Amino acid sequence: MVKADDPITGEGAEAYLGGAEAVRVVPWGDRQSADMALVLDRVVDERTLGWLGQLQEGTDGDGPPVLLIVDEISERLLLEAVRLGVVGVLPRAETDYRTVLRATRSALCGEAPMPPRLVRSLVREVRAMETSARRRESHLTLRETEVLRLLADGLSTLEVADRLSYSERTIKSILHEVVTRLKLRNRTHAVAHGIRRGLF
């Protein structure tokens, strides 16, 4: 299935691919029956992401894999495009239809045809997201850290409440929030979490 930013490019792609051995081009309206989608655009933007989103509609995220042929794509939109089913990206200025056919067959075999520069960008984005997620998950407020420090010193929740001038209910609420947010098993696990990270 082919989607292009202009009709002439789209028709040319369909004509060439339709004449290739073992290739059948289906219209956009039958896109859910395609084994692979080819999207040609100059610059990936919200319109392009909209096309990719349409390919995923009603599929529970299992729409056809997409090969993007583009002049330009930002790191941020590359990651979003991959979320929307893109498995390969080829530079439009350097790609002819024979290359497209080879890349399509490679993608259908589980490979990810993509210039090394874009692979590096994708890896950087994923790493940055993972680091950010870890920081969010492991972050403790000063109040939470102090509660866990006092528990690590052997105080009960009532004693911690007296020391910090809170109600015992508030201390238990703080502990519940920490355990839930950090996906820990219990308050002992929360104390161990703080110790391992050198918070006290």
Domains of the chain: residue spans and CATH: 2-121 (3.40.50.2300), 137-196 (1.10.10.10)
pLDDT class of 52 with cuts at 50, 70, 90: very high
Tell me which amino acid residue 175 is: L
Q: Which of 197, 191, 170, 169 is nearest to 179 (CA)?
A: 191
- For 4-13, 92-101, 112-121, which range has the lowest pLDDT when averaged over its residues? 112-121
The answer for 5, left when phi > 0, alpha when psi is -120 to 50, beta otherwise, is: alpha
Q: What value does the mean pLDDT of the chain take?
A: 87
Cβ atoms of residues 67 and 36 within 8 Å: yes
Within 8 A by CB and 6+ apart from 82, the residues are: 122
pLDDT of 85 strictly over 70: yes
56-82 in b/e form (b: 16+ CB < 10 A) is beeeeeebbbbbbbbeebeeebbbbbb
Q: Tell me the average pLDDT across 38-65.
A: 89
Q: Which of 57, 45, 178 is nearest to 37 (CA)?
A: 57
- The whole-number pLDDT of residue 132 equals 62
Q: Tell me the average pLDDT across 71-87.
A: 88
CA distance 168 to 97: 70
Within 8 A by CB and 6+ apart from 62, the residues are: none
pLDDT class of 137 with cuts at 50, 70, 90: low
pLDDT of 44 strictly over 80: yes
- The whole-number pLDDT of residue 136 equals 57
What torsion do the CA atoms of 84, 72, 34, 56 make, to the nearest 10 degrees?
20
Q: 38 has which bridge partners?
A: 2, 67
pLDDT class of 141 with cuts at 50, 70, 90: confident
